Structure 1
Amino acid sequence: MLIRVKLYRNHESLFKEFDVALEPNHTVLDILYTLKENYDPTLSFRSMCRAGICGTCGVKVNSKPVLACKTKVGELEHPITIEPLDNLPIIKDLVVDHSVLMERLKKLRVWYEPLGSNLQTFKTNPMVDKSFECIACGLCDASCPVFLTNQDFGGPMSFLRIYKLTQDPRHSKREDSLLRVKDGHLQLCTHCKNCSMVCPLGLMPESIIKFEEAELIKKGLISQNLSNSFDFF
């Protein structure tokens, strides 16, 4: 079938339109390779594993952040509009600067600092398991409305990934990690659930933020957040 594709080109600051022959089981990543190979070799985008594991092919399709390799044409309304992710600086076309995501992780020190003793295992719960499974694709941060007004916000990706450190007895600075959650201005979260709706692995970052928020409230580190939430999607 012939599908109209509207593609953002940042060097021209406009959308270019193409009619592309595709099948319903083709993915958005297939669209991008078809465009690059047959229509415009200057097009820039990221991809690597093509299996929804590496998280590098994030784009915005019909206004929603998705992994291009996991999103099938048959699931989308036509025409298909493809843009770069929001909340991240554009390098070229659909390529955004992921170093912003890494800087947020560094700021919250999202890494293990092991105990002196050798503790091999610990009992997890489903939410801790979700924290371990994050692939750092950044779709959740790209969907977060808080970044529109505050770039100091830690972001759902960092809060999701740091949760395991606050729960894992193999980490020597669990309390410090929890304090860093506070320093990341967790209380600014509007609980709009955008991050959970766009997560390609269904990891529910907003639910984990609620667990962290409850722990901070319990310890008297923040007050109850009574702000109104709002949705984008």
Structure 2
Amino acid sequence: MLVRVKLYRNHESLFKEFDVSLEPNQTVLDILYTLKENYDPTLSFRSMCRAGICGTCGVKVNAKPVLACKTKVRELEDPITIEPLDNLPIIKDLVVDHSALIERLKKLRIWYEPLGNNLQIFKTNSMVEKSFECIACGLCDASCPVFLTNQGFGGPMSFLRIYKLTQDPRNSKKEESLLRIKNAYIQLCTHCKNCSMVCPLGLMPESIIRFEEAELIKKGLISQSLTNSFDFF
């Protein structure tokens, strides 16, 4: 099978092609290790858990953001084209700088500010549970077209992760969390659903963004507006 990998060397991008013998049950991460060990030891990429938990092995495969460790060869068309994620600065080859993801989390202050008393019981719903389950892989942000025109956008990853703070009675700053969502330009979301289609855990960030927008409209913090809706994948 022909594998094309986009390399980033000396501030220039180039595609390098490899003819690799692959088994259907192998993953894209297996491909990358095979290339590094047998073809090009200078190839750079990230991986840690190999179990779809840490979220570090995100790459773009055949134009779609995926976790390399969860993507099987049998799911892909020949040739397989592997590139770095979009919307994040490239450090080298398939390694991108995740600093922007972290900065967006910090800007929205996505952490608990506890109550004075200890609340032991908290009933969740399915959407709140999805907010808890995000592994911060950044695939959703890498698929988001809004970042092409506005870097101040909060992004689907941050909007997904902050949702629990707006619903959890153990957080003393629920209203402040809603205001931060508003100030992160949530209404710029095009609702193209790219983020939901690429999420490796099926957490549906676009649906949660709709819930957040509805809450903001209900409280009079934003006005209802029509947005473009289109799919990239």
Q: TM-score, normalization: structure 2?
A: 0.98
Letter in 2 for 1:188: L
Q: Secondary structure, in 3 states, of the residue corresponding to 2:60? A: strand
Q: Paired residue for 1:232?
A: 232
Q: Paired residue for 2:52?
A: 52
**1:202 maps onto 2:193 in alignment:** no
Which region of structure 1 is more displaced relative to structure 2, 50-59 or 115-124? 115-124
Question: How big is each residue's C-alpha offset from its partner over 1:196-221, in whole Å with a ceiling of 9 and x where there is no partner?
Answer: 00000000000000000000011111
Q: Distance in 2 between matches of 1:107 and 1:141?
A: 15
Q: TM-score, normalization: structure 1?
A: 0.98
Q: Is the 8 A contact 2:191 2:227 kept in 1?
A: no
Residue correspondence of structure 1 range 121-200 to structure 2 within 5 A: 121-200=121-200
Q: Distance in 1 between matches of 2:225 and 2:175?
A: 21
**1:211 maps onto 2:211 in alignment:** yes
Q: Is the 8 A contact 2:196 2:204 kept in 1?
A: yes
Letter in 2 for 1:74: R
- Structure 1: stretches of 5+ with no match in the other structure: none
Q: Paired residue for 1:72?
A: 72
Q: Distance in 2 between matches of 1:13 and 1:216?
A: 42
Q: Secondary structure, in 3 states, of the residue corresponding to 1:13? A: strand
Q: Secondary structure, in 3 states, of the residue corresponding to 1:10? A: strand
Question: How big is each residue's C-alpha offset from its partner over 1:11-33, in whole Å with a ceiling of 9 and x where there is no partner?
Answer: 15210000011100000000000
**1:31 maps onto 2:31 in alignment:** yes
Question: How big is each residue's C-alpha offset from its partner over 1:151-206, in whole Å with a ceiling of 9 and x where there is no partner?
Answer: 00000000000000000000010000010000110000000000000000000000
Q: Paired residue for 1:84?
A: 84
Q: Secondary structure, in 3 states, of the residue corresponding to 2:115? A: coil
Q: Secondary structure, in 3 states, of the residue corresponding to 1:21? A: coil
Q: Secondary structure, in 3 states, of the residue corresponding to 1:171? A: coil
Q: Secondary structure, in 3 states, of the residue corresponding to 1:116? A: coil
**1:119 maps onto 2:124 in alignment:** no
Q: Distance in 2 between matches of 1:186 and 1:133?
A: 21
Q: Distance in 1 between matches of 2:152 and 2:229?
A: 19
Q: Distance in 1 between matches of 2:65 and 2:162?
A: 22
Q: Which ranges of 4 or more aligned residues in structure 1 deviate by more than 3 Å?
A: none
Count how many residue pairs are aligned between Structure 1 and Structure 2: 231
Q: Distance in 1 between matches of 2:13 and 2:140?
A: 25
* RMSD, aligned α-carbons: 0.6
> Percent same amino acid at aligned positions?
86
- Superposed displacement of residue 225, structure 1: 2.2
Letter in 2 for 1:45: F
Q: Distance in 1 between matches of 2:35 and 2:80?
A: 13
Q: Distance in 2 between matches of 1:112 and 1:197?
A: 28
- Superposed displacement of residue 121, structure 1: 2.4
**1:9 maps onto 2:11 in alignment:** no
Q: Distance in 1 between matches of 2:44 and 2:18?
A: 16
Question: How big is each residue's C-alpha offset from its partner over 1:39-64, in whole Å with a ceiling of 9 and x where there is no partner?
Answer: 00000000000000000000000000
Q: Distance in 2 between matches of 1:45 and 1:91?
A: 10
Letter in 2 for 1:151: Q
- Superposed displacement of residue 227, structure 1: 2.1
- Structure 2: stretches of 5+ with no match in the other structure: none
